[in-house]
C-alpha cells in the first residue's frame, strides 16, 4: 500500500535512515550465516526492508 508522503518532513528519507536499513540488513545476514538457518524475523524484516526501499526512493 503506497502512502502519501507529500507532507512528510523528510526525516525517513535521510541518508542516516537509509544507512540504518543497510546496517540492519547486514546484521541479519551475519546472524543467519552464524546460525546456519533462515530466521523467521529475517524473512519478516526482509519484506519490510524491500517495502521501505520502494517507498523512499
pLDDT in tens, 5-39: 667 776 666 666 667 777 888 888 788 778 776 66
**Cα–Cα distance measured from residue 7 to residue 23, given in angstroms and rounded to the nearest whole number:** 27
pTM higher than 0.75 for the full model?
no
pLDDT the model gives residue 20: 77
pLDDT at 48 over 60: yes
Determine contact, residues 39/28, Cβ cutoff 8 Å: yes
Residues 6+ apart with CB under 8 A from 39: 28, 31, 32
Amino acid at each position: 500500500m503506497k502512502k502519501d508522503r507529500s507532507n512528510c518532513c523528510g526525516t525517513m528519507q535521510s541518508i542516516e535512515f537509509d544507512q540504518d536499513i543497510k546496517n540492519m540488513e547486514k546484521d541479519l545476514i551475519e546472524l543467519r550465516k552464524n546460525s546456519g538457518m533462515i530466521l523467521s524475523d529475517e524473512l519478516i524484516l526482509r519484506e519490510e526492508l524491500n517495502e521501505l526501499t520502494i517507498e523512499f526512493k
